[in-house]
Amino acid sequence: MSIYDTLNEQQKEGVFTVDGPVLLLAGAGSGKTRVLTHRIAYLIEEIGVNPWNIMAITFTNKAAGEMKERVEDLVGFGSDSIWVTTFHSTCVRILRRYIDRIGYDNNFAIYDTDDQKAVMKDICKRLQVDTKMMKERSILAAISSAKDELVSPNEYSLSAGGDFHKQKIAQIYQEYQAALKKNNAVDFDDLIMKTVELFKACPDVLKGYQERFKYIMVDEYQDTNTAQFELIKLLAGAHHNLCVVGDDDQSIYKFRGANIRNILDFEKVYPEAAVIRLEQNYRSTQNVLDAANAVIRNNKGRKEKALWTDKGEGNRIHFRQFDTAFEEAEFVADDIARKKREGSFDYGNCAVLFRTNAQARLLEERFVVEGIPYDVVGGTNFYARKEIKDLLAYLKTIDNGRDDLAVKRIINVPKRGIGATTIAKVQDYADMKEISFYDALKEADEISTIGKSGAKLKPFVSMIQAFRSKLSYYSLEDLMNDIIETTGYVKELEASDEEDAENRIENIDEFISKIVSYEETHDEPSLSEFLEEVALVADIDNVDGDSNKVLLMTLHSAKGLEFGSVYLTGMEDGVFPGYMSIVADDPDEIEEERRLAYVGITRAKEDLTLCYAKQRMIRGETQYNAVSRFVKEIPESLMDNRLPAPKYDPITTPASKFKPVASLAPKRTAAENKPFIAGGIGSFGAMGIVKGAGAAPGGRPDYDAGDRVRHIKYGDGTVLSMEPGPRDYKVTVDFDEAGQKIMYAAFAKLKKL
């Protein structure tokens, strides 16, 4: 039996159509990765294409890793030669080799968001920009959008015309790029833009890559921006063997620069393109797919297709309405607990999706009360933590002395008595001589203005030079341990009385584990390559699919994932679709929101629940919203209950007609409104307390100070103290992993060991 016999007819067509441009319209859950991997195997085994001549590009490290594993399983020997990678990783590999052709050193640094903000802050200060009028974040967003469209600082300036605001951004853009180049650094948008610039400036480099990559495949094509489109078009320019896979109905990243026209107009760019539709879904039941089809067909800017499955109808869609957002969160937590209890779905098979991160707070509070383990996707990235950024700055300084930002970050970490005045004088000297900040440090004896402070700079320079000299024979693990030991970084943390010192030391231990893992999995590990790998890590790559926890995340974060049971919360006009999309009166904005609803619905494999709250507090104001138009677009025959007939239109009805907040909110006693305390979660307000939360727990718990206990979220710990209150015992526990927490006994549900 051939490996291709397991494919359906449309999938086979996608695999066997290898010459010329191909557009694979792959609906949600239609097995697009399966088609791509089998297509690669077919090219090698049946057509005789050299693996070296094949490239497959996707957006996240996680997706690239999964595709690479599947290709290795199918192809075996020779699969290492195939480039299965992300857009940014592809460009880094090309630029590492050739960026010197456009004026950079090949050991350039890659700046993350925090680095960009630091550079922008300095520029705004230097140019005396009023950051209350022009926010740094908005300026960076404007520059990012320009780069997505391949607009240079000069072109941006020319297009500004008489617009003072745009002229100012053009000036800042110019300064920003100059600062990056001086630091021998690029940001994420530069990785694509500079590669396109390289190809256009150096035809010989482009030709070399065109001859290497004779067959190119691009996944998630609907998410590409103009710069990425131009990059792919250039690479495929010689042979035109370009296969793009995507779903215009899942184009939800317009705010990041994604251009849906790339997929909608593919046949205009390549008139000879073959168009193949993958409509059979292998993920969801038919009722879920019918709901998704019913919603998305209301979009005009799309290519016609309809998902179907042979998995059967399945459960009908659950629609639940509540008086308040608190009751919505209470229901979701209770319903997940019920499913776990009954054995229908485990925690790890459940996800709660919402339009904005702010909606997570009430859900988190309820999950803590119920003792339901959960993770919020999109929290602080591991590599954005202070201690990790400090150690990375040491590595960056050792690797690339021109990165002024990295040098300045660590010159006084741990403290060396080098003040801001000394740093400013060194920078002035560097600016005068047009050299890097680190090179200026090496010439500290020549800087007359710093006086005796120069003696404090020499040991720092000597230390960095010593680290550099050890690179030739040290492993990266040895180097990191040497940095920690020489600087006394961990010793300073151990001696500090900061509450999070222990957690920060654990993070450093985890960072060393990452370094060891990197060295074990790479034949020729290098510091530059390790820093690249860290720089290219995305938040969604950190989602642990093996942990048995409910995931709370925005709809944007959920793309590409699937769950047995999904809850879509906040299904109200004004929340989803958002208020700004409605008042903008722009059909394109609503269509983008509708695609987001389609993505949310199709994350569910078996069970989908839509939740609506009559009132919700947003930015401190109580709002009353109608049921989301996306819910109304689902036929009632697919739901297990009818939508309520609206008693009033929240847009046209006077505020005096609305019920007062107090009449809708659940009534609570004064004792019930006392705060619940749990480290890292925050206090509950009046709307965040469970009904009956203050009820007496039925006597003293069966544990006492000194006993070992177990919590469903925090794990094992030791009870430090028990304080009786008017309604419950306040328990302080030192957890082995999570540290010290204070909680009420009835809520904590601690189990004595």
| Residues labelled as active-site residues | 32-33, 219-220, 250, 603
> What is the three-class DSSP state of 676?
coil
CA distances from 50 to 69, 77, 209, 429 (A): 19, 12, 14, 54
Sign of CA dihedral 88, 90, 96, 99: negative
Rounded Cα gap, residues 160 and 162, in angstroms: 6
Query: The tokens 């879904």 sit on which residue?
Result: 281
Give the Cβ contact number of residue 465 at 10 Å.
12
Q: Are strands 563-568 and 274-278 parallel, antiparallel or unpaired?
A: unpaired
Residue 30's identity, in one-letter code, is S
Q: What angle do CA 167, 172, 174 make, to 5 degrees?
A: 95
Backbone angles phi, psi at 550, to 5 degrees: -70, 135
Give the Cβ contact number of residue 343 at 10 Å.
7
Rounded Cα gap, residues 14 and 7, in angstroms: 10
Buried b (16+ CB within 10 A) or exposed e, 505-540: eebbeebeebbeebeeeeeebebbbbbbbbbbbebb
Structural element, H or E, at residue 492: helix 489-495
Q: Copy the structure tokens of residue 569.
A: 């919360």
DSSP string, 589-624: HHHHHHHHHHHHHTTEEEEEEEEEEEEEEETTEEEE
Contact present, 608 and 349 (Cβ < 8 Å):
no
Structural element, H or E, at residue 720: strand 715-724
Order the strands of the 215-218 sheet from edge to edge.
83-86, 54-58, 215-218, 242-246, 22-26, 274-278
DSSP string, 96-132: HHHGGGGT--TT-EEE-HHHHHHHHHHHHHHTT--TT
HEC readout, 199-237: HHHCHHHHHHHHHHCCEEEECCHHHCCHHHHHHHHHHCC
Contact present, 89 and 536 (Cβ < 8 Å):
yes
Buried b (16+ CB within 10 A) or exposed e, 79-118: beebbbbbbbbbbbebbeebbeeeebeebbbbbbeebbeb
Rg, Å, the chain Cα set: 29
Residue 362's identity, in one-letter code, is L
Rounded Cα gap, residues 320 and 614, in angstroms: 11
User: Nearest 10 degrees: CA dihedral of 382, 388, 390, 392?
Assistant: -100
Rounded Cα gap, residues 364 and 370, in angstroms: 10
CA distances from 198 to 54, 236, 242, 347, 397 (A): 21, 16, 21, 49, 26
Give the Cβ contact number of residue 456 at 10 Å.
17
Give the Cβ contact number of residue 448 at 10 Å.
9
